[in-house]
């Protein structure tokens, strides 16, 4: 598959059929000083190009997905080529993680680095697996979320395969972050116990605009099912409408949402939120609906209790019970992922210094870092700037990609 590069100096679209030609193409179009400064960037772009070229769309989200097997094998081959011990861990047939390990001067002081290999779907994209460069922007599915973070790990592996690391480095690439985090759960259960010590810190290279993400929200999914009785639309008195009571549920959710908006905000994450996500019910316009379902999502903050969430669910159930009609209602929590928060300490300050004094921030989205923190590894987010996560115009900043690589390298070297 060809790679598209739009060179800023000429605004000329260049198609590259051989990724080995990337450096020579750039050299011929850029001043020599700029080319020399960009050698590292070219290497990172090459890694990112090869990663994007492989379809790693999550197969549980779209029929276009083929899973992480091919991309995981590619990453595995990269580490093998550097002489770094690496392993592919099968979760299911086409779903896998890839790990690698560099033993440092302090072998039991282990830094866990992480990126997810899966991406979201490609619907609406013309050429999703081909990188197109437009100035500083590198377009393509997964460039921003989060194959750039995986490319940074590969670049760090290249550097520390030639230069001794003061600490041990655990490189991890996981499956299924975009859905149920099967990869991260498998990693914690099967890879973590093989390490000589629990990692002292986890850095998850999700896109953070180069901020240091010391916290992110969690989420919980809820569902209520309302049962009525079907009848002919011309004889509603013979049935029990299961759709009308949904208005009571929605009104109660709106009340809860308003209450959340009045609570004190988290320093980095703002306020907790909720929103109804899906409504379904009935079988035909001429039939009194015998069933309806409402699903909603609650975005949670560190410190919010399960009892609080259970109370909100019960409020919605009671509101539906008290609505007029002889319907029945059941409610349940469908899925839960915890929020994440790591306290500012000397380690975080060390990373901040290595990154040039970047700000702390909180992330509205959820990430696998919460599972690592829950397993006893304080974990933060740090990654490049860009735009369009899950959108058709996804891109990552080339300059920021290089900045994050340098920051990570300096952070590791600071332990010497």
pTM of the model: 0.88
CATH class of 3-215+340-413: alpha beta
Question: Which CATH number describes the domain made up of 218-337?
Answer: 3.30.70.360
| Cis preceding-peptide flag for 357 (omega within 30 of 0) | no
Per CATH, 3-215+340-413 and 218-337 having the same topology is answered no
Name the β-bridge partners of 171.
100, 113
Domain positions in the chain = 3-215+340-413, 218-337
pLDDT at 21: 44
pLDDT in tens, the chain (416 residues): 333 333 333 333 333 334 444 444 434 444 554 544 457 778 999 999 999 999 999 999 999 899 999 999 999 999 999 999 999 999 999 999 999 999 999 999 999 999 999 999 999 999 999 999 999 999 999 999 999 999 999 999 999 999 999 999 999 999 999 999 999 999 999 999 999 999 999 999 999 999 999 999 999 999 999 999 999 999 999 999 999 999 999 999 999 999 999 999 999 999 999 999 999 999 999 999 999 999 999 999 999 999 999 999 999 999 999 999 999 999 999 999 999 999 999 999 999 999 999 999 999 899 999 999 999 999 999 999 999 999 999 999 999 999 999 999 999 999 98
Query: If you write DSSP's letter for every residue of 294-334 in order, what string do you get?
Result: EEEEEEE-TT--HHHHHHHHHHHHHHHHTSSSS-EEEEEEE
Q: CA 414 to CA 306: how far, in whole Å?
A: 40
Q: Are 55 and 172 in contact (CB under 8 A)?
A: no
């Amino acid at each position: 598959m060809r790679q598209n590069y739009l060179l800023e100096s000429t605004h000329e679209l260049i198609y590259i059929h051989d990724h080995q030609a990337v450096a020579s193409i750039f050299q011929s179009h850029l001043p020599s000083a700029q080319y020399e400064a960009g050698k590292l960037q070219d290497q990172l772009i090459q890694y990112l190009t090869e990663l994007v070229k492989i379809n790693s769309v999550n197969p549980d989200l779209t029929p276009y997905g083929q899973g992480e097997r091919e991309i995981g094998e590619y990453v595995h081959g990269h580490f093998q080529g550097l002489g770094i011990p690496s392993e592919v861990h099968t979760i299911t047939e086409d779903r896998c993680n890839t790990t690698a390990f560099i033993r440092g001067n302090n072998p039991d002081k282990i830094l866990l680095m992480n990126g997810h290999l899966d991406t979201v779907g490609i619907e609406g994209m013309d050429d999703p697996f081909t990188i197109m460069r437009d100035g500083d922007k590198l377009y393509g599915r997964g460039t921003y979320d989060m194959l750039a973070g995986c490319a940074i790990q590969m670049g760090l592996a290249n550097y520390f395969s030639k230069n001794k690391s003061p600490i041990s480095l655990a490189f991890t690439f996981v499956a299924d972050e975009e859905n149920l985090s099967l990869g991260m759960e498998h990693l914690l259960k099967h890879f973590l116990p093989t390490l000589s010590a629990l990692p002292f810190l986890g850095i998850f290279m999700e896109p953070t605009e180069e901020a240091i993400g010391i916290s992110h929200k969690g989420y919980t999914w809820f569902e209520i099912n309302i049962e009525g009785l079907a009848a002919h639309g011309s004889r509603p008195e013979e049935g029990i409408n299961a759709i009308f009571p949904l208005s009571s549920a929605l009104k109660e959710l709106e009340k809860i949402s308003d209450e959340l908006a009045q609570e004190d905000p988290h320093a980095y994450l703002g306020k907790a939120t909720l929103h109804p996500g899906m409504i379904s019910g009935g079988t035909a316009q001429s039939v009194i609906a015998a069933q309806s379902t409402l699903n909603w999502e609650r975005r949670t903050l560190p410190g919010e209790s399960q009892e609080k969430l259970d109370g909100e669910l019960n409020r919605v159930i009671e509101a539906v019970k008290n609505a007029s009609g002889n319907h029945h209602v059941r409610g349940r929590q469908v899925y839960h992922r915890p929020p994440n928060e790591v306290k500012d300490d000397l380690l975080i300050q060390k990373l901040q210094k290595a990154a040039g004094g970047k700000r702390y921030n909180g992330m509205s989205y959820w990430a696998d870092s919460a599972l690592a923190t829950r397993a006893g590894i304080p974990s933060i987010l740090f990654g490049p700037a860009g735009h369009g996560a899950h959108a058709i115009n996804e891109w990552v900043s080339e300059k920021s990609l290089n900045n994050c690589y340098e920051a990570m390298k300096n952070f590791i070297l600071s332990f010497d």
